[in-house]
Amino acid sequence: MKKIFIFAILIKSGLAVNLFPYHSINNRLNSQSQKNIDLYKLLTTNICHNDRNIKVSQKITATTNNYNLTTLMNSYSTLALNLSHVFLAQQQPIAKSPAQCSTDNAARQQLFSAKIALAIFDNDRKYKVLISNFSGQNIQTIVSSKAPITSLSWNASNTSLAYVSYENGKPIIYVQNVYTAQRYIVANFDGSNSSPAFDGNSLLVSLSKDYGTHIYQIDLHNYTAQKTALPLVSTDSIDTEADIGNGNLIFTSNKNSKPQIYLKSKNTAQAKQISIGLNNTTGRISGDGSKILYIHGSRGQYDLMYYNLKTEVTRKIDSGKILSGSFAADNTTIAYIKNNQVVIYNSNYNNTAPMANLRAREFFDVKLSK
């Protein structure tokens, strides 16, 4: 059974993008710009709930506005030894939504200022962690290795990433500052160290250092290598893949003989199963703790499932070779990997837009910043 979970942790795929910015509605449309308009429409309708009938051409103004990426990254990782250039921050144009949008623009600005982190196997046969802006531009490699890298997690301030690296022959958890490239080991216990997830000044991790695999919490405040990992979830079965949002904790456990997603609400002491069917893994919870994604596997088919904690309703978002899902900071927009391609999904309107120019030999994980 442990092999199932190791497979679930490793079964995540990567990225590499190049979407063109919008400059003017007078630009001649081609196939790629039409894809970009579809993506733009998907994102803007996420905020403007009252303008479904407004055409995209009405939404994109001829006057472009700029957002500043100087704070995205100031240096490249010293681990990426094959890179000789320093990241050059740029101002990229992006069209804003129309004045007709009566809802608060804060969520849109939060969405468009987001970063994407990607774990990939690239065409040069290197495993890499990439960071880009939300449109997939300004891609920067912050880690490049001959060994697999998986299980990305952003901290709350979006300044650091946690990930699992096999560069020393076993899974070890690192936290790395994306601006300075400084990193340190968080978990290098005997056995497996996997599935990191930030929880404020702590990191939730899955460790097999004692008996079986269970979920522990490591305090990152004044961190020292000798700090103790405190047990957080420990059943009589395998417990792994923890994630937390607004005090609601989810994790994967096979205590009923098949892997299932469990929710431990901040208002309850007992965890309850929220997944349906058999073989459910890789749960991800939204920042506000109200929605959950997980992957359901059956007879070689993988479905991305969406569970609403308020309504307790589960629905299927997509099917295929689904590997990873992630909520954006607006708790509505979702990024996931399907058939080795990154897809953006709008949960309000139940539609998708593939990011067709994002390419890699193999994708392992995609995470939107919080």
pLDDT number for residue 14: 32
Task: Burial-class residue 279 by CB neighbours within 10 Å (0-12, 13-18, 19+).
Answer: middle
CA distance 107 to 276: 32
Only one residue has tokens 């065409």, namely 123
pLDDT number for residue 37: 52
Number of domains in the chain: 1
CA distance 362 to 370: 24
Report CA dihedral (22, 28, 30, 32) to the nearest 10 degrees. Answer: -10
pLDDT number for residue 67: 24
The C-alpha angle 196, 295, 356, rounded to 5 degrees, equals 90
Per-residue pLDDT tens over the stretch 234-258: 888 899 999 999 999 999 999 878 8
Give the type of residue at 31: S
Task: Burial-class residue 342 by CB neighbours within 10 Å (0-12, 13-18, 19+).
Answer: buried
pLDDT number for residue 42: 54
CATH code where residue 315 lies: 2.120.10.30
pLDDT number for residue 60: 26
User: In which domain, by residue range, is 132 found?
Assistant: 2-368
Task: Burial-class residue 75 by CB neighbours within 10 Å (0-12, 13-18, 19+).
Answer: middle
pLDDT number for residue 41: 53
pLDDT-flagged residues of the chain (< 70) = 1-112, 222-226
